[in-house]
């Protein structure tokens, strides 16, 4: 059964445009409450990032859940993975995240976690969708849900993050710059690294509701690169707006992406005999990651793009480590979803154990030139399926002669076609990417 509202990462769009409206969120809260109540007693946690519309949607969801008879516990601004963790520890039936992740403030969205801190099962999402099309009702007054606030949520999550490293861990002498993207990690991330002994300088931790991801964070690395060099820091850490993505900057100012971070973690786990199975990447993972892992004898498989597909593949194979080059990194040995702070801690641990800088640790992975071009389109037919686009992809693939690959995909969160070309000749790769992007643009016109 196809979904009407849920995409690959919940429900997302521009604030004020359906379905990202107060009316829809009221109904969504009610539908979710009714679906979760069918499982028995119902308690739902709500957390959000720092964008201004979060207040409005939090109130609407709260009212809908209460009307369905579900008790609500409010967390306030918290990283997405924190909500997954707290949903488990409070034995709630579900957790709701109000966030549009790395998108600008004028977007927002809703993600759900199950009581186990994982993505909702398909059957529950479909049940919510069915209820969204049903008339809204209100339970008897005595059965209305109650609402409370969890005041120590940040402290609980900080301790959880610290528990993912040995209790003897001490990052004294390590000089970090952290970019919080004016987002959900602005309080907890600096605390975690400081409490573990690091010297921390913080960027973009003054959210005003409008500046989330605005020229900062993991999608805009320039300020962090400049700060790391200017402050002669050991490295920089960049989060996105809801802190489920992490990228880093080495001491020279070079960006270290999710593929490289995943490699550093995997190599360390293997050397310590702690790597269970292999590593899951995605269709966008650099070919260099696959080759570097193969040199170490570590199995590697590709899932579709999106952390839910990485997680699904990990569960199916009973593996523990996976991620995307965008910085979603899943460490199942510690938590149930992609967690930027925990992933960053695993990288720092690996560097400390090996006595290496980040610049040294990344050298064993030789990335193949990869060019990504985003082409915006106005909806309607998926341009990737157009015959002209398919023919152009086939021509470029043939001309690459087996020394590269082409991937075109429609974004699951934005009206974009992502054109990716990878190969061993950077100039050719860029020209092929531009050629394919031009075809997509013409088709979309």
Q: What angle do CA 41, 42, 48 make, to 5 degrees?
A: 165
What pLDDT, on the 0 to 100 scale, is given for residue 363? 94
Residue ranges in 3-67 assigned as alpha helix (H): 22-37, 53-67
Q: DSSP letters of 128-189?
A: HHHHHTSPP----GGGPPPEEE-TTHHHHHHHHHHTTS-TT---TT-EEEEE-TTSTTTTHH
Is the per-residue pLDDT at 291 higher than 90? no
What pLDDT, on the 0 to 100 scale, is given for residue 379? 67
d(C-alpha 27, C-alpha 30), whole Å: 5
Q: pLDDT tens digits, residue range 199-258?
A: 999 999 999 999 999 999 999 999 999 999 999 999 999 999 999 999 999 999 999 999
Identical fold for domains 257-342+357-367 and 370-444, yes or no, is no
The answer as to CATH 3.40.120.10 being correct for domain 257-342+357-367 is yes
d(C-alpha 328, C-alpha 311), whole Å: 11
Q: Which residue has the tokens 């400049």?
A: 226
Query: Which of 220-234, 259-273, 363-377 bottoms out in mean pLDDT, i.e. has the lowest?
Result: 363-377
DSSP lists the bridge partners of residue 240 as none
- By residue count, the chain amounts to 445
- What CATH number should be reported for the domain whose range is 370-444? 3.30.310.50
Question: Which DSSP state fits 363?
Answer: G
Is the per-residue pLDDT at 177 higher than 70? yes
Is the per-residue pLDDT at 265 higher than 60? yes
Is the per-residue pLDDT at 181 higher than 90? yes
Mean pLDDT of the chain: 95
Is the per-residue pLDDT at 354 higher than 60? yes
pLDDT band at residue 113 under the 50/70/90 scheme: very high
DSSP lists the bridge partners of residue 434 as none
Q: Which residues are identified as catalytic?
A: 101
List b or e across 192-203, with b for residues whose CB sees 16 or more CB atoms inside 10 angstroms.
Answer: bbeebebbbbbb
Is the per-residue pLDDT at 316 higher than 80? yes
d(C-alpha 358, C-alpha 347), whole Å: 9
pLDDT band at residue 380 under the 50/70/90 scheme: low
- Sequence ranges of the domains in the chain: 11-152, 175-254, 257-342+357-367, 370-444
List b or e across 341-374, with b for residues whose CB sees 16 or more CB atoms inside 10 angstroms.
Answer: bbbbbbbbbbbbeeeeebbebbeebebbbbbebe
What pLDDT, on the 0 to 100 scale, is given for residue 7? 82
Is the per-residue pLDDT at 29 higher than 60? yes
Query: Which of 143-147, 189-193, 420-424 bottoms out in mean pLDDT, i.e. has the lowest?
Result: 420-424
Contact 325, 260 (CB under 8 A): no
> What is the mean pLDDT of the segment spanning 326-341?
96
pLDDT band at residue 171 under the 50/70/90 scheme: very high
Q: DSSP letters of 30-44?
A: HHHHHHHHTTSS-EE
Whole-prediction pTM = 0.90
d(C-alpha 46, C-alpha 189), whole Å: 20
Number of neighbouring beta carbons within 10 Å of residue 292: 21
Q: What percent of the chain has pLDDT over 90?
A: 87
The answer as to CATH 3.40.50.1970 being correct for domain 175-254 is no
Question: Which DSSP state fits 218?
Answer: G
Contact 263, 244 (CB under 8 A): no
What pLDDT, on the 0 to 100 scale, is given for residue 378? 79
pLDDT band at residue 306 under the 50/70/90 scheme: confident
What pLDDT, on the 0 to 100 scale, is given for residue 334? 96
Pick from 325, 282, 277: nearest CA to 299: 277
Q: What percent of the chain has pLDDT over 70?
A: 99
Residue ranges in 370-424 assigned as alpha helix (H): 387-400
pLDDT band at residue 2 under the 50/70/90 scheme: low
d(C-alpha 237, C-alpha 247), whole Å: 6
Query: Which CATH class for the 11-152 domain?
Result: alpha beta
pLDDT band at residue 381 under the 50/70/90 scheme: confident
Quick one: CA dihedral 348, 350, 355, 361, positive or negative?
A: negative
């Amino acid at each position: 059964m196809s979904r009407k509202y849920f995409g690959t990462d919940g429900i997302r769009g521009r604030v004020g445009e359906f379905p990202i409206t107060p009316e829809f969120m009221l109904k969504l809260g009610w539908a979710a409450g009714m679906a979760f109540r069918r499982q028995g007693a119902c308690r739902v946690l709500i957390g959000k990032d720092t964008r201004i519309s979060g207040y409005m949607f939090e109130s609407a969801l709260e009212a809908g859940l209460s009307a369905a008879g579900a008790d609500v516990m409010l967390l306030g601004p918290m990283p997405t993975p924190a909500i997954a963790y707290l949903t488990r520890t409070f034995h709630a039936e579900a957790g709701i995240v109000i966030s549009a992740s790395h998108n600008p403030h004028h977007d927002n969205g809703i993600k759900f976690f199950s009581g186990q801190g994982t993505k909702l099962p398909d059957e529950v999402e479909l049940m919510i969708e069915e209820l969204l099309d049903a008339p809204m009702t209100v339970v008897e007054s005595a059965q209305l849900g109650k609402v409370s606030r969890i005041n120590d949520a940040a402290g609980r999550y900080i301790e959880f993050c610290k528990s993912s490293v040995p209790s003897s861990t001490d990052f004294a002498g390590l000089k970090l710059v952290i970019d919080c993207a004016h987002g959900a990690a602005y309080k907890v991330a600096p605390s975690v690294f400081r409490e573990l002994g690091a010297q921390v300088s913080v960027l973009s931790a003054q959210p005003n509701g409008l500046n989330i991801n605005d020229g900062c964070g993991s999608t805009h690395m320039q300020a962090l690169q400049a700060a790391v060099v200017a402050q002669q820091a050991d490295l920089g850490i960049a989060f996105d707006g809801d802190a489920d993505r992490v990228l880093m900057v080495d001491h020279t100012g070079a960006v270290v992406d999710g593929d490289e971070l995943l490699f550093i973690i995997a190599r360390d786990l293997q050397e310590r005999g702690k790597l269970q199975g292999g590593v899951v990447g995605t269709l966008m993972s650099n070919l260099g990651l696959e080759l570097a892992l193969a040199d170490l004898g570590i199995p590697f498989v590709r899932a579709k793009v999106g952390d839910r597909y990485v997680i699904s593949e990990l569960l199916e194979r009973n593996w523990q480590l996976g991620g995307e080059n965008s910085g979603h990194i899943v460490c199942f040995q510690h938590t149930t979803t992609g967690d930027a702070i925990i992933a960053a801690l695993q990288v720092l641990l690996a560097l400390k154990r090996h006595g290496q800088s980040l610049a040294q640790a990344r050298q064993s992975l030789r990335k193949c030139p990869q060019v990504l071009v985003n082409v915006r389109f106005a909806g309607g037919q998926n341009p990737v399926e157009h015959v002209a686009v398919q023919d152009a992809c086939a021509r470029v693939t043939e001309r690459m002669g087996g020394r590269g690959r082409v991937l075109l995909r429609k974004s699951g969160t934005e009206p974009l076609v992502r054109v990716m070309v990878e190969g061993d000749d950077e100039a050719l790769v860029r020209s092929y990417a531009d050629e394919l992007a031009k075809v997509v643009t013409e088709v979309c016109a």
